[in-house]
Amino acid sequence: MDKLSEILKRFNLHADVFFTGNLCSVIEFDEPKGGRGHIHILKSGALTLIDKKGKKRNVAQPSVLFFPTGRKHRIVPDPAIGADLVCASIDYQDPIANPVAHALPPFLKFQLSRYPDLKKAAKWLFREAFGDKSGRAPMIDRLVDIFIIQVLRQVLDDEKVTHGMLAGLSHTHLAHVITSIHAQPEYPWSLDSMAELAFMSRSKFADLFREVVEETPGEYLSNWRMSVAQSELLKGHSVSIVADKVGYENGSALARAFRKKTGTSPKNWQQAHLVK
């Protein structure tokens, strides 16, 4: 069962490339409240990355610098040769409701020479970004979208995340359970049915799930249903329809759980976010 498709289908992310070329001056980023993420892909040259605490990382090899959610940082290009870069912001329909944005570490770095699949994807991206073919702008936006999916694949393959949703998706015994929950949030899941999928006893499954994902199975299911509910509300669906999609008996049951989670009703939350 595909570990990523269900998440990416439900929770859109979109890259907007805002810079391609040789960077010769300092550029600074500061997204409040963990909003848009940023990805910087170094083709050649060198740079110094400075985070909000002043920590410096010198980068002199083709690399990916990925901030999944808004983090203050600066890029200082080498004063002699600059840095050939592709830079993009990553927009989420709603970053607070998007579990992908918050399942990743605050910063990830990949040296392209060590990751053949990323290097291959970057080569295609660089050819378009530093070329002049027609349709260049929308093409490179879409290529960065694809590149980010490749990054997520690499995160899962490398097991770079040790706790949380992505760690669970990388785990031999938990991946099938979590993927099934993602695909069928409306199903009447119980601890017994989850443990059965994992081929484990109830107690061992519950302990392992909490250790790896850092939530109980019930908490994870509830939070996933809320995330899916928010995603569906952002599509303009009614509360009653959303309730059916995420496994609640009716709109009132969803409203009670939603208010407990967010502090407001689904209808008010929907109206506030659809206006934006």
Q: Please compute the mean of the pLDDT values over residues 109-129 and round it to a whole number.
A: 95
Q: What percent of the chain has pLDDT over 70?
A: 95
Distance CA(42)–CA(160), nearest Å, equals: 21
Q: Please compute the mean of the pLDDT values over residues 203-213 and round it to a whole number.
A: 96
Per-residue pLDDT band at 33 (split at 50, 70, 90): low
Residue 158 has a pLDDT of 82
Fold designation for 166-275: Arc Repressor Mutant, subunit A (1.10.10)
pLDDT at 89 over 60: yes
pTM for the whole structure: 0.84
Residue 12 has a pLDDT of 73
Q: Please compute the mean of the pLDDT values over residues 123-138 and round it to a whole number.
A: 94
Per-residue pLDDT band at 276 (split at 50, 70, 90): low
pLDDT at 17 over 60: yes
Residue 265's closest CA among 229, 223, 235, 222? 229
Distance CA(272)–CA(260), nearest Å, equals: 18
Distance CA(178)–CA(208), nearest Å, equals: 13
Residue 96 has a pLDDT of 61
Residue 97 has a pLDDT of 61
Residue 94 has a pLDDT of 62
Residue 145 has a pLDDT of 92
Q: Which two tokens stand for residue 143?
A: 């290529």
Fold designation for 5-158: Jelly Rolls (2.60.120)
Least confident of 75-84, 155-164, 260-269: 155-164
Top pLDDT among 162 and 187 is at 187
Q: Please compute the mean of the pLDDT values over residues 155-177 and round it to a whole number.
A: 88
Would you kindly state where each structural domain of the chain is located, as residue ranges?
A: 5-158, 166-275
Contact 255, 264 (CB under 8 A): no
